[in-house]
Structure 1
Amino acid sequence: MDKFKFEKLLIWQKAMDLGEDINSLIKHFPNHEVYNLSTQILRAVDSVALNISEGSIGQSNPEQNKFIGYSVRSLAEVVTCLHKAHRRNYINSEQFQKYYDESFHLMNMMIAFRKNL
Structure 2
Amino acid sequence: MTVTHHEQLEVWQQAMELVTLVYDHTRSFPRDEIYGLTGQIRRAAVSVPSNIAEGQGRRSTKEFLNHLSMARGSLIEVRTQMEIAK
Give the TM-score range, shorter chain. Answer: over 0.9
**Count of residue correspondences:** 83
Q: Which residue of structure 1 aligns with residue 14 of structure 2?
A: 14
Question: Cα offset for 1:59?
Answer: 2.2
Q: Which residue of structure 2 aligns with residue 72 of structure 1?
A: 72
Question: Which 4+ runs in 1 deviate beyond 4 A?
Answer: none
Q: Which residue of structure 1 aligns with residue 82 of structure 2?
A: 82
Distance 1:22 1:59 in 2: 31
Question: Cα offset for 1:52?
Answer: 0.2
2:37 maps to a residue whose letter is L
Question: Cα offset for 1:58?
Answer: 3.8
Gap regions ≥5 residues in structure 1:
87-117
Q: Which residue of structure 2 aligns with residue 60 of structure 1?
A: 60
Backbone CA RMSD of aligned residues: 0.9
Alignment of 1:41-60 (within 5 A): 41-60=41-60
Distance 1:27 1:49 in 2: 20
Q: Deviation string for 1:4-59 (max 9, x for gaps)?
A: 61100000000000101100111100011100000000000000000000000142
Gap regions ≥5 residues in structure 2:
none
Distance 2:58 2:48 in 1: 18
Of all paired residues, the percent bearing the same amino acid is 36
Distance 2:71 2:79 in 1: 12
Distance 2:40 2:69 in 1: 19
